[in-house]
Amino acid sequence: MRFAAAWGRGLVNPRARQEHDYKFAWWVIFATIPIVVAGLLFQSLVKGPLASLWVVAISLLAGSAIMWAADRFGTGKRGESESTFADAMLVGSSQILALLFPGFSRSGATISTGLLRGLDRVTATRLSFFLSIPALTGAGLYELKDALGGGVDVLPLVVGTVVSFVVAYAAIAWLLKFVAAHTFTAFVIYRLVVGVALLAALASGVLSS
């Protein structure tokens, strides 16, 4: 609400355009463009060759490496007021990794990118969260036409959407607090274990890709 209000003020008041919140709101809008373009260009790949458990397993391991590097090399010296347009664009663009490679956590990719840019944990996590709003909302609305066109009953769809929103909001609220004060170690270990187990299951034929 704070950023939306600042954005609204800036549209009609030139002085308000100097506020960081006004600029930040525009950054979120511009930083969402890369994933929108990638989603439209690579939709066939995402639903085709990249929709493989082999890709998921490798993405889990690769994502773990990036998250570890972010913990290890991120300086965490810059706060929200020191964030820049370049930070927003790079963090926003990193969402493409999760789009193209299932198993590559969107939150993990964006927060890690923010940390590697020198943002502190709270700022990187908040930026990741704000960038998720237009990206996930847009993706949901884009898929909605297919769901309604496929003869899905509206009432179950609405109920499911509301329940998912409440559960996701609670999960994100917890995640924001946890990641802002803790390292990625628990997530890295979890992803490594699952990734190696999945590779073993695929290689042994227990699972089909």
165 domain-assigned: yes
3-state DSSP call for residue 78?
Answer: strand
Domain membership of residue 124 as a residue range: 2-204
Q: What is the pLDDT of residue 134?
A: 87
Judge whether 102 and 51 are in contact, CB under 8 Å: yes
pLDDT of res. 204 = 93
Q: Does 99 fall in a domain?
A: yes
Residue at 209 is within a domain? no
Phi and psi, residue 78, nearest 5°: -110, 135
- Count of structural domains, the chain: 1
Assess if residue 83 is contained within a domain: yes
The residues, any chain, with a CB within 8 Å of residue 24's CB and separated by 6 or more, are: 3, 6, 80, 83, 88, 130
82: in domain: yes
Please report the pLDDT score of residue 150 as a whole number. 66
* pTM for the model: 0.85
Query: Which pLDDT score is estimated for 153?
Result: 80
Cβ distance 39 to 99 under 8 Å? yes
User: Who's near 77: CB < 8 A, 6+ residues apart?
Assistant: 118, 120
Q: Is residue 9 part of a domain?
A: yes
Stretches in the chain below the pLDDT threshold 70 = 150
pLDDT of residue 176: 77
